[in-house]
């Protein structure tokens, strides 16, 4: 009797446990992050009140929240000013053309200072270009290193030498190099943009390069044998065997690179005074007004959120193209 009863009881117990586990897992996924954030905000608010800097109280969550709206308003106000600027320009240009028929009319871009949102856009654009350039160099080079031990041996010392170099050490060299080499009367890109992008590229190279090389060199022997049996030529071998099998590794490298690129960019912009979020932070620091710290905090959070979004984007791309869906990606 006893024995026959045990099974359903056990079953129910297990079922209950599973439900409970699932419930808690769901709870964990949603609730715990919220609890974490709330605790952080509460701590921040409590601590901020007690820190007195020479620029006034350290900004708490409320001030930062308010400041983000002010920044938004400023952006809108600047937008209106730009509108007025173009209207004035149109009238002035019409008059000039009437007075001076030889005049070659060109549109002058709005001369107002970039707002916070303009700076976000500039930074994103710069990092995208720098990252793209780095990737189209690093991936082929990485494949080459992975395929041929000789190339790897030749390049490896250079990788090891330059990988740990801080972007800020590169910056002065890059700045001087760009202003010496990039000379044109009507430049398509501003020098500051090129400087930032090149600095980002220099630091984005290494993780992609190394991961690609490692990924390529650790391809399953069976796959290589298959390629040999089928007598694939070098190009097909890379396309059909090497690339597909090393994609997870390549993307791991790309993700790391993008993260590094984003961090490097902010630092480069700050130091070299190139337009972007980094410059925004530095300018606000220099202003030293009672609102500066709150505005910097808005920028800090924005940089964090954007970094997070970039990472998630890369992750979803990686998931999409990766053949090995079983690997947990975090």
Partner 1 sequence: MVIQKMKTFNTSMRPVLVALTAVTFFSLCVNMQLAQAQTKVGYAEKEELKIGFIKLTDMAPLAVAYEKGYFEDEGLYVTLEAQANWKVLLDRVIDGELDGAHMLAGQPLGATIGFGTQAHIITALSMDLNGNAITVSNDVWAQMKPNIKHENGRPVHPITADALKPVVDKYAAQGKPFKMGMVFPVSTHNYELRYWLAAGGIHPGYYAPHKGDTSGQIDAQALLSVTPPPQMPATMEAGTIDGYCVGEPWNQQAVIKGIGVPVITDYEIWKNNPEKVFGVSAKWAEENPNTHIRVVKAIIRAAMWLDENDNVNRVEAVKMLSRSTYVGADEEVIANSMTGTFEYEKGDKREIPDFNVFFRYNATYPFFSDAVWYLTQMRRWGQIEEPKSDDWFMATAKKVYKPKIYAVAAKELISEGKAKASDFPDFATETGFKPPQSEFIDNVTYDATKPNAYLDSFAIGLKADSKI
List Cβ neighbours of 279 (8 Å cut-off, separation of 6 or more). Answer: 119, 269, 270, 273
Residue from 17, 83, 225, 290 in contact with partner 1 (CB under 8 A): 290
53 backbone dihedrals φ, ψ, rounded to 5° = -95, 175
- Shortest distance (Å) from residue 84 CB to partner 1: 10
Query: Rounded distance, CA 251 to CA 322, Å?
Result: 9
Neighbours of 145 (CB within 10 A): 25
- Shortest distance (Å) from residue 188 CB to partner 1: 16
Is residue 195 close enough to count as binding partner 1 by CB under 8 A? no
- 216-254 as b/e: b if 16+ CB within 10 A: bbebeeeeeeebeeeeeeeeebbeebbbebbbbbbbbbb
- Shortest distance (Å) from residue 262 CB to partner 1: 22
Residue from 4, 50, 111, 326 in contact with partner 1 (CB under 8 A): 111
Residue from 28, 225, 287, 316 in contact with partner 1 (CB under 8 A): 287
Residue from 28, 83, 289, 316 in contact with partner 1 (CB under 8 A): 289
Site for partner 1 in 52-81 (CB under 8 A): 54-55
Please say which residue, 186 or 324, places its beta carbon nearer to partner 1: 186
Kindly state the tokens that stand for 174. 């890059």
Residue from 82, 282, 306, 311 in contact with partner 1 (CB under 8 A): 282
Query: Rounded distance, CA 251 to CA 211, Å?
Result: 8
Give the binding-site size for partner 1 (rule: CB under 8 A): 27
- Shortest distance (Å) from residue 304 CB to partner 1: 21
Map residues 82-101 to x or -, x wherever contact with partner 1 holds by CB under 8 A.
Answer: ------xx--x---x---x-
Query: Rounded distance, CA 149 to CA 140, Å?
Result: 15
Angle at 154 between CA 164 and CA 138, to 5 degrees: 55
Please say which residue, 292 or 302, places its beta carbon nearer to partner 1: 292
Query: Rounded distance, CA 212 to CA 140, Å?
Result: 9
Q: C-alpha distances in angstroms, 224 versus 27, 151, 268?
A: 46, 19, 43
- Shortest distance (Å) from residue 288 CB to partner 1: 6
Query: Rounded distance, CA 38 to CA 40, Å?
Result: 5
Is residue 300 close enough to count as binding partner 1 by CB under 8 A? no
User: Which span sits near partner 1 by CB under 8 A: 12-20, 125-133, 284-292, 321-329?
Assistant: 284-292
Is residue 113 close enough to count as binding partner 1 by CB under 8 A? yes
Please say which residue, 67 or 245, places its beta carbon nearer to partner 1: 67
User: Under the rule (CB under 8 A), what is the footprint of partner 1?
Assistant: 54-55, 88-89, 92, 96, 100, 103, 106, 108-109, 111, 113, 179, 191, 273, 282-290, 292, 295
């Amino acid at each position: 009797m006893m024995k026959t009863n045990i099974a359903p009881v056990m079953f129910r117990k297990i079922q209950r446990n599973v439900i409970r586990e699932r419930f808690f897992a769901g709870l964990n996924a949603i609730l715990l992050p919220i609890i974490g954030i709330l605790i952080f905000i509460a701590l921040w608010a409590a601590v901020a009140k007690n820190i007195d800097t020479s620029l006034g109280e350290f900004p708490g969550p409320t001030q930062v929240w308010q400041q983000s709206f002010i920044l938004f308003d400023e952006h809108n106000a600047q937008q209106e000013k730009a509108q007025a600027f173009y209207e004035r320009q149109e009238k002035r240009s019409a008059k000039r053309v009437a007075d001076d028929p030889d005049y070659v009319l060109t549109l002058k871009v709005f001369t107002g200072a970039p707002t916070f949102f303009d700076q976000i856009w500039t930074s994103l654009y710069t990092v995208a270009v720098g990252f793209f350039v780095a990737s189209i160099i690093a991936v082929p080079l990485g494949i080459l290193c992975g395929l041929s031990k000789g190339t790897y041996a030749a390049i490896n010392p250079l990788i090891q030498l330059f990988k740990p170099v801080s972007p800020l050490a590169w910056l002065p060299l890059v700045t001087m190099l760009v202003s010496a080499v990039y000379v044109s009367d009507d430049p398509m890109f501003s020098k500051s943009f090129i400087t930032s992008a090149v600095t980002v590229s220099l630091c984005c190279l290494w993780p992609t390069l190394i991961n690609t090389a490692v990924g390529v060199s650790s391809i399953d022997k069976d796959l290589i044998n298959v390629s040999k049996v089928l007598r694939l030529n070098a190009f097909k071998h890379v396309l059909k065997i090497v690339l597909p099998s090393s994609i997870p590794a390549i993307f791991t490298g790309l993700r790391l690179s993008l993260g590094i690129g984003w961090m490097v960019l902010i630092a480069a912009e700050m130091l070299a005074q190139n337009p972007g979020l980094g410059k925004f932070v530095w300018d606000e620091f220099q202003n030293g007004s009672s609102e500066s710290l709150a505005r910097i905090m808005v920028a800090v959070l924005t940089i964090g959120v954007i970094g997070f979004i970039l990472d998630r984007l890369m992750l979803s791309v990686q998931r999409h193209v990766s053949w090995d869906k079983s690997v947990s990606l975090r």
